[in-house]
Amino acid sequence: MNISNYYWYFKSALTPRFCDDVIKYGLQQKDAMARTGGYGNKKLTKQDVLNLKRKRNSDLVWLNDTWIYKEIHPFVVEANKNAGWNFQWDWSESCQFTKYKLNQYYDWHCDSFNKIGNNGKIRKLSMTCQLTDGSEYQGGELEFDFRNYDPPQRDESKHLVKCKEILPKGSIIVFPSFVWHRVKPVTKGVRYSLVVWNQGFPFK
């Protein structure tokens, strides 16, 4: 698939109050260790935990609240149109409130391999909302690699795109779910984000 825009962003689009409300609400919920595909809801062994943390180390909470979707959905619609993707989508997964504390990270991954879910749909548009300002933590950079294979298989240094546009609090980035990306380790402070995947029927 040929696309001209690999991501679309909105700088400081969400109000500080909304961001703070989501953080406060998320911290009131019981969190869990983040998982990657393939582990599902099974009980993790010690080896599973070690294997997971080689790829991803963060804590998260799932949120399904109307007041959150109502605030962020218009930006998915606008990005999909303005970036020229015009992907068909009609359903959003649960919002993922993610905490990246000291030394936590998420290595290279893409959110969709065209795996069809039980509803017959795939992830098409990924959204990340920056709930903390970039001045409140160090490290934790969101980076992209726009090639369509796992970046570590090739020299990634020539193809890295550092997404500095979403560092201000309340900023949003939307991108096709097949785009490779990562969150580098946090070296100071805590990075809070809200992630949502938006689904539609498979591309034709």
Q: Is residue 177 part of a domain?
A: yes
Domain range holding 140?
8-38+64-200
Q: What pLDDT, on a 0 to 100 scale, did the predictor assign at position 155?
A: 66
Q: Is residue 181 part of a domain?
A: yes
End-to-end alpha carbon distance in the chain: 11
Least confident of 3-12, 19-28, 52-61, 160-169: 52-61
104, part of any domain: yes
138 within domain boundaries: yes
Q: In the prediction, which pLDDT does 53 show?
A: 62
Provide, for the chain, the percentages of residues in helix, strand and coil under a 3-state DSSP scheme, each rounded to the nearest 5: 25, 35, 40
Handedness of CA 171, 173, 174, 177 (dihedral sign): negative
Top-confidence residue, 108 or 186: 186
56 in a structural domain: no
d(CA 103, CA 139): 9
Cα 119 to Cα 42, 66, 149: the distances in Å are 21, 21, 26
In a domain, 187, yes or no: yes
What pLDDT, on the 0 to 100 scale, is given for residue 124? 96
* Cα maximum dimension of the chain: 45
Q: Are 182 and 129 in contact (CB under 8 A)?
A: no
What's the pLDDT at 97?
Answer: 97
Per-residue pLDDT tens for 76-94?
999 999 999 999 999 999 9
Q: What is the total count of domains within the chain?
A: 1
pLDDT at 38: 57
Does any domain span residue 136? Answer: yes
Question: Residue 132 is part of a domain; what is its CATH number?
Answer: 2.60.120.620
122 in Cβ contact with 112 (< 8 Å):
yes
Within a domain: residue 155? yes
Question: Could you report the per-residue pLDDT of 96-139, keeping only the tens digit for each?
Answer: 999 999 999 999 889 986 778 888 999 999 999 999 999 999 99
* Cβ-based neighbours of 178, under 8 Å, separated by 6 or more: 1, 110, 111, 112, 113, 114, 148
